[in-house]
Structures are given as structure tokens and as C-alpha cells.
Structure 1
Amino acid sequence: MFDYSDKVKEYFFKPRNAGVLEDANAVGEAGSLARGDALKLMLRINPLSEMIEEARFLSHGGGSMIACSSALTELVRGKSVDEASRLTSADIAEFLDGLPPEKMHCSESGEKALAAAIAAFRGETPVAPERRPAEPALVQIAVPPKPRRAPPPAAAAMAARQNGAAPGMTLRELIAKNNPLAAVEEEETGPVEPVSEDDASVISKIITEMRPIFQRDKGDIELLEIKGRQVFVRLSGTCASCLMASQTLAGVQKRIMETIGRPFLLIPSTARA
């Protein structure tokens, strides 16, 4: 696993300004669902003063993407359009007390989404930001993976409380709590409607295509079975005990629902009774 700063963890577990901005007059997007990281930045800009009065985001991806998106909205609020246009990916990384080199693409997506939003406000064609070498002082070096050991019960309970877990909360409930952007459906009651072969094939294909996102952090995801609108998966490797995997898991669920056009609930095997 990567060595994330406390601020990255804070902005992932408690993201600022997440959600839709209904009266946005400047919207920019970056990344792609196929790659696994996507960001939609929404701004409300005063047309007379050109001051950014409000900023919100929708994001799909891992913990670093959520943290960078959240940090970006904090950085641009209250700034003029000209001031915001000078923000770079390095500024986002510095605000978060550094990012591992392997995760700098998340802050770069933030810079691109901001440039696209400003271009939309000005009626211009977005220009891809010039890639700048990250300043060593702003970037933390990823530490080699170490064998993971189960924390003592007291430490595990303390970590769960810090991440917003109430006593007795399941992993599925924690995923929903820490991910304000995922449309998590309640479990169905009554007879379970069998899933069609076409839907099962689509779900299996999506999970297979997104496995590299989990494997990138030394983890993995495997489809176990589908019952109605419930998709049971097994997380292994570092993802089995890492709360950062919850956001990516919600991203898989979001992609399934967007592709098929109906709600499905992705349930880790550890959340099964």
C-alpha cells in the first residue's frame, strides 16, 4: 500500500463539497470511467466579478482521486477565475501534504477539469494543461509494501471509529457512509428475481475490466454470484482490509448501474451474513 498523508485520508473519508451543484455555470470533466478515475467539477461563477462563489464535484475512483477532487473545490472557492486558472496539480498535491508519485495523475485530473470548467465559462476550447514536473518537496515517496498483519482489537476499533464506523456497523454500511456519491440501494425483500444471462455477462465483464485498479494496490476483486440485484464479490490481498478500497468498490457498482440502466448493490464477501 502507498504511504498516504493524514490530510489525504481526511479528505477521502470526509470529502468536502461532494455532490451536484444545480446552478453551476461552469462545468469541466477529466479522466474516464474505463480507466477507473473520472472527475466532474462544477463551479458557480459570478459573471460580473468573475469570482468563484461555489464549487462541487462528482468523482469516481480511488481514495486519492476523491481527496484531490475535494481539495480542488476548497482551493478554488473564493478565488477569481484568473487566480484559479493558475492552480496546478502540484498545488493540489501540496494542499494534501503530498501524494505518492504513482497517484499524481489524480491531481493532474483535477488541473484538467479546472481548465475545462474555466474554458466553458469563457466560451473557449479547453487546452490541455502543460505537464510540469512535480516538485520533490511536495511529493511523498511511496514505501515498499510490507506484510500486512491484523491490528490488535483495540487498535482496529479505534481506526473504525476514526473512519466514522458506529459499533456493529457492517462493511457495506461503512462503504455507504464514506461514499456520498454512490447510489446504494437497500436490500430487496420478497422473492428474488433471477438476473438475466445478458446482465450477468455485463457485470462479469465490468468486474474483469476493473480488476487492474485493485491489483494496482496489491489487491484483487472476484465475482462470486449474483442474486437478483445483489452482486457478491470477494476482495483479496490488501483490499480485503483496506478502507480505501470502499470508494473503488462503489465505483464498480456505479459503472454497473450506468451500463445496465438499473440499480444493483455490490456486496463484499466480508459483508455477507
Structure 2
Amino acid sequence: MLDETGKALDLFFNPRNAGPLEAADAVGTAGSLEAGDAIRLMLRIEAGRVAEARFLAFGGAHAIACGSALTVLVTGLDLAAARAVTPEEIEAAVGGLPAPRRPAAARAWSALQIALAAYEGRTFVAPEPAPVPAPAAAPVRLLAPKHDSQPRIVRDVPLAPAEEARLIAEVIESVRPRLRADGGDVTLVAVEGSKVRVHLTGACSGCQLAALTLGGLQKRLADALGRPIRVIPEEKRPLVSIAGAR
């Protein structure tokens, strides 16, 4: 969880410009879903200026704050000024970051440079992040459920954010083929501690079907993660992020 400045907390709890941008002219993605920290920046460019900027953040609260701050910084800038934005400016816009969290600002900056390079027909290679040691596997206990044939996992040691992110994505992807066959779909929007926000479309967005879909998905996620999870539907322009804090 963020514990630095009031500005950073505000950008996390009230993200600016979070969510997909369907009319994007330039898209840049930096980081790694496997590592548990990634950001995608989407820009709509008009007359050589950034007319609109939105972001999706997958990772900790600092990634959300940096993505939010970056979209505010670049909106209205011409392309040259947008290219000149630095990681330090992004860090300053969130009120400063402790040294271990500064890569969040660097990833946001890389996403910006990748998006602008793609729009201009250039190639930008983001700096390689420092390798992160793989977390040790968490011990688990299996509890026999009352009504299900599969045991529920209870973890004695919480999973690392990267591992939780991978499991959440896998569970959601595993249910999508069946939902699509019935004329619906579900996509991951945000993970905020014990809350998993999703976006339902098609047949899944109806009230009764939504309740069935969310209930089943909530159980699958709770069983996979070994902790209580609440699945919440998002309707319009959902916030897209994953905050690793509990």
C-alpha cells in the first residue's frame, strides 16, 4: 500500500484517466505481467498534440499512481514536449517515491517513449529492469470443502503479487471460452487487495446471468488464491489496474 505522500494516495485512490482508450493512435506497454508490474499507455493524437491519454496498470499501487500522473502530465503537450518528459518529472508528480518504488516511474516513462516511437515510426527499446529473484513457493494446506469435489487451498504464506496476478489471469482466461460460447465475456479490470473488478459484456451483463457468472468466478478465484476474494462488476470505463497491496 502507498505510505508516502497525500498526492500519491490521491492518485491511487482516485486515478485520473484510467481505463482503455478505443480511439488510441499510439500505444506503449512496458514491464512484464510475469514479473507482476506492467503499464500500458494509450494516446489519442490530434494536430501533433496529445489530445487524450489513458492507462492500464498491472502491479502495485505505485504503478497506478505513476500511470495516473503521467496521463495528466502529457495531455495537451505537443509530441516534442511529450518526448521530453522524464522519469523524474513523473516521480515528482506523485510527490516523490522511495528508491525501491522508482522503477514504477521508469516503467511509465518507457511506456510513453514506446507509444510515441510507434506513432512516429521509430523503435524505442526500454531499458532492461534489474532481475528479480523468483519467490519461494508458498506452503499450502488442502481443506475438504462441504459441497465441492475439489479441495480448497489455504496458504500458510501469502503468495507474492506476481504469482497472485498470474493465478487471477489464468482463472479468468479459463472461464472465458465457456462464456463466449453462451454469447458473453468477462475481462479483468482491476485487483485491489481482496477486490477483483471485472467487466462483463454480452449475455453475461444481464442481471441474473451476471450474478451467476460473478458467483462462480469469485469461488474459483478464492479457491485458487487461498484467501477471500470479492468480484465486483464495472460498467462504464472501468479502472484498470492491479494493486498488490492487501
TM-score bucket (shorter structure): 0.5 to 0.7
Matched ranges for 1:192-203 at <5 A:
none
Partner of 1:37: 37
Say whether residues 1:60 and 2:18 are aligned partners.
no
Structure 1 window deviating more from structure 2 (247-256 vs 95-104): it is 247-256
Question: 1:255 and 2:213 equivalent?
Answer: no
Deviations 1:135-190 (A, max 9, x none): xxxxxxxxxxxxxxxxxxxxxxxxxxxxxxxxxxxxxxxxxxxxxxxxxxxxxxxx
Contact 1:39 1:60 in 2 (8 A): yes
User: In the alignment, residue 93 of structure 2 is paired with which amino acid?
Assistant: F
Q: Distance in 2 between matches of 1:235 and 1:81?
A: 50
Q: What per-residue deviation string (whole Å, max 9, x for no partner) do you get for residues 9-55 of structure 1?
A: 11111111111100100000000011110111100001xx2110000
Q: Residue type matched to 1:27 in 2?
A: V
Deviations 1:71-122 (CA, angstroms, capped at 9, x unpaired) = 1111111111110101111101101110010000000001100000000110
User: Structure 2: where are the runs of 5+ without partners?
Assistant: 177-185, 187-216, 231-246
Alpha-carbon shift at residue 249 of structure 1 (Å): 9.1
Larger relative contact order (Cα-Cα within 8 Å, sequence gap ≥ 6): 2
- Measured in 2, the distance between the counterparts of 1:83 and 1:228 equals 59
Q: How does 1:150-189 map to 2 (within 5 A)?
A: none
SS at 1:41 equivalent: strand
Indicate conservation of the 8 Å contact 1:3/1:100, yes or no. no
TM-score, normalising length from structure 2? 0.60
Letter in 2 for 1:5: T
Q: How many angstroms apart in 2 are the aligned matches of 1:17 and 1:107? A: 17
Per the TM alignment, residue 129 of structure 1 is displaced from its structure 2 partner at its CA by 6.4
| Alpha-carbon spacing, 1:129–1:250, altered in 2? closer, same or farther (3 Å) | closer
Question: CA–CA distance in 1 between the matches of 2:57 and 2:73?
Answer: 17
The alpha-carbon deviation at position 222 of structure 1 amounts to 6.8
Which letter maps to 2:81? Answer: E
The equivalent of 1:269 in structure 2 is 227
User: Which structure 2 residues correspond to residues 86-235 of structure 1 after superposition, within 5 A?
Assistant: 86-128=84-126, 212=135
Cα distance between partner residues in 2 of 1:103 and 1:221: 24
Distance 1:112 1:5 in 2: 24
Residue 125 of structure 1: SS of its match in structure 2? coil
1:156 matched residue in structure 2: none
Counting aligned pairs with the same residue, the percent is 39
CA distance in structure 2 between the partners assigned to 1:44 and 1:117 by the alignment: 10
CA distance in 1, matches of 2:111, 2:141: 36
Aligned equivalents of 1:83, 1:39: Cα separation in 2? 21
Displacement of 1:8: 1.4
Answer yes or no: is the 8 Å Cα contact 1:28–1:116 preserved in 2: yes
Task: Give how far 1:255 is off.
Answer: 2.4
The structure with the largest strand share of the pair is 2
**Partner residue, 2:79:** 81
Give the total of aligned pairs.
180
Partners of 2:2 and 2:110 in 1: how far apart?
Answer: 24
> Normalized against structure 1, the TM-score is what?
0.54
What secondary structure does 1:269 align onto?
A: coil
Please state whether the residue corresponding to 1:35 is helix, strand or coil. Answer: coil
Q: Which runs of 5+ in 1 are unaligned?
A: 132-209, 240-244
Pairwise CA distance, 1:257: 3.6
Distance change in 2, residues 1:221/1:77 (3 Å): farther
SS in 2 for 1:78: coil
For residue 98 of structure 2, what is the amino acid of its counterpart?
A: P
Distance 1:85 1:256, change over 3 A: same
